[in-house]
Amino acid sequence: MPLTDTAVRNAKPAAKPFKLADGGGMFLLVTPNGARYWRMKYRIDGREKLLALGVYPDVPLKLARERRDEARKLLANGVDPSAQRQAAKVATADTFEAVAREWIAKYSPSWSPVHADNILRRISRNLFPWIGARPIGAITAPELLRVLRRIEERGALETAHRAHQNAGQVFRYAVATGRAERDPSGDLRGALPPVNSKRMASIVDPVRIGELLRAIDGYSGTFAVRCALRLAPMTFVRPGELRKAAWSEIDLDAAEWRIPAARMKMREEHVVPLATQAVAILRDLHPLTGSHAFLFPSARTSDRPMSENTVNAALRRLGYTGEEIVGHGFRAMASTRLNEMGWPSDPIERQLAHAERNKVRAAYNRAQHMPERVKMMQAWADYLDGLRAGANVVPIQRSGRRA
């Protein structure tokens, strides 16, 4: 039941701290010394967090509820109230940290939660400790380079390049909003050694693909993880899209999986046509996890999806090293084989959910290629079945042409 003013006023301290719940995640924390704190527990991006709403009696019950309701409105719009409060505290200053947090608060609603979290963590750990408190308009290129060198010297060259890129975005935002006259990060082009890019490990040889598929069929771990392993090469979605798959996104009768824009890297809804084999796997899985939100819930709690390392750990358990195959490698597997088999690039790229650089073409393509994608996904699943069986598989055929 909700709290009353009388219950709050008469709350007596005990030997240990205790909570009096009000609703909507809000509670009154009563400490042994008699102090009473308003707190709100909430979840965002799968994480549980706590928001301070004030101290009783300076903040009475009515005001605490108003603050809770404001926080819940922010959450409904995908905004972390703690992060916004932190940004507001420094918004009046023109320090690098203040401008960076303002930039993140402004643009993060259009980013994926993972992307936003990665950027904030990267600049919080690598930039804020050294230039966070500096007036952004006073930071020079040599000063920024010294910070980037720190990152490079600990062996994190790719992180140094990404931090350089993020710093440039913050400086350009500062220029646009009148807090700086120029972006000093542009003077550092070429100052850091190049990163030797490494492709995601994948298996593209048909014979070895067949061996991998047979190994997956023999996986002795949990049934849900085995289903995830079987679906990964068949759907070739990104690992995060697979592990967070929700039953609400699946239409087994229509043989279709619609991933909402909020979960996609490119922030557009993505449709995955489901081959008959994929539908069969999902129908087998449904009695086990269909009562939960996620297809592949965590082993610890059904309220969360399986961890981001589950598929890779399962591949390691099957005896495949990280140099041979990773979860993301199933995308390269499908892309390589489908292109070599003659499927046109448009349906392949659309099924991979890659961004179209040409905006006019992107708008046109958004609704295109679905019939061919449906056909391609079924043909791909059939092809994988053939490889699994160890057959000398003939390349997929498309309407009379060799594919």
Q: Identify whether 320 is a catalytic site residue.
A: no
Q: Per the structure block, which two tokens stand in for 270?
A: 């993505």
Identified catalytic residue from 72, 172, 265, 267? 265
Which among 56, 30, 51 has a CA at the least distance from the CA of 40?
A: 51
Contact predicate 101/166, CB 8 Å: no
Identified catalytic residue from 65, 328, 337, 373? 328
Tokens 């991006």 belong to 45
CB atoms within 10 A of CB 145: 18
Chain centroid to CA 279: 25
Q: Identify whether 238 is a catalytic site residue.
A: yes
Q: Identify whether 73 is a catalytic site residue.
A: no
Contact predicate 145/191, CB 8 Å: yes
Distance, in Å, from the CA atom of 244 to the CA atom of 132, rounded to the nearest integer, reads 34
Q: Identify whether 286 is a catalytic site residue.
A: no
Tokens 């995601």 belong to 200
Distance, in Å, from the CA atom of 237 to the CA atom of 221, rounded to the nearest integer, reads 22
3-class secondary-structure state, position 327: coil
Angle of helix 96-107 relative to helix 113-126, nearest 10 degrees, comes to: 180
Identified catalytic residue from 238, 263, 337, 373? 238
Secondary-structure percent of the chain, ordered helix, strand, coil, rounded to 5 = 50, 10, 35
Can the peptide bond before residue 129 be classed as cis, meaning omega within 30 degrees of 0? no
Distance, in Å, from the CA atom of 85 to the CA atom of 7, rounded to the nearest integer, reads 29
Identified catalytic residue from 65, 162, 304, 331? 331
Q: Identify whether 331 is a catalytic site residue.
A: yes
Helical H segments across 298-344, by residue range: 310-317, 329-340
Q: Identify whether 56 is a catalytic site residue.
A: no
Catalytic residues: 238, 265, 328, 331, 354, 364
